[in-house]
């Protein structure tokens, strides 16, 4: 008998994802959404699986659905932001990483992504500001050191 609760399907899909069985994980995640269409976690997981499969447009769609249901999860914005980066949508990525930072200001990877995106866009001062914060949260990231060591850096 199939489980009726999305949480059971989410647990199964997560186990398959962790085992590297992405196609199976995607199928189980879809069943999770069918079992409970208003499960933000099921939609988020489907998005994470899509990211791992390189299907970033699908990931954005699935994670956007999760955000509509539960907009208070920083990790939802962070993963969607990463997909936007892969789709060359720097503005959308910046927006998502900024919201992830607002929700979880201590996440060094989010702050590092903000620094890197600003640097890519040529916004030197914001990039350096984010880089200093990222360095203070997690010293040693060579990508951040590169921004901090750029000519004219304080």
pLDDT tens digits for range 132-150: 999 999 998 888 888 888 7
CB-based burial label for 124 (10 Å; 0-12, 13-18, 19+): middle
**Which residues, including other chains, have CB under 8 Å from residue 61's CB and lie 6 or more apart?**
47
Cα 128 to Cα 148: distance, rounded to the nearest angstrom: 6
pLDDT tens digits for range 79-117: 999 999 999 999 999 999 999 999 999 999 999 999 999
- pTM for this one? 0.87
Cα 49 to Cα 26: distance, rounded to the nearest angstrom: 6
pLDDT tens digits for range 53-77: 999 999 999 999 999 999 999 999 9
Render 66-103 in DSSP notation, one character per residue. Answer: HHHH-TT-HHHHHHHHHHHHHTT-HHHHHHHHHHHHHH
């Amino acid at each position: 008998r199939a489980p009726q609760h999305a949480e059971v399907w989410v647990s199964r899909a997560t186990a398959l994802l962790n085992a590297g069985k992405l196609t199976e994980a995607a199928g189980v995640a879809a069943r999770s959404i069918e079992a409970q269409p208003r499960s933000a976690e099921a939609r988020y997981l489907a998005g994470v699986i899509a990211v791992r499969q390189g299907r970033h447009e699908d990931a954005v769609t699935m994670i956007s659905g999760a955000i509509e249901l539960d907009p208070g999860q920083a990790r939802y914005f962070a993963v969607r932001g990463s997909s936007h980066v892969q789709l060359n949508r720097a503005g959308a990525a910046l927006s998502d990483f900024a919201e992830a930072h607002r929700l979880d200001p201590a996440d060094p990877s989010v702050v590092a992504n903000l620094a890197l995106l600003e640097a890519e866009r040529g916004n030197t001062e914001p990039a350096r500001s984010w880089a200093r914060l990222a360095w203070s949260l997690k010293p040693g990231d060579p990508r951040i050191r590169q921004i901090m060591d750029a000519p004219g850096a304080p």
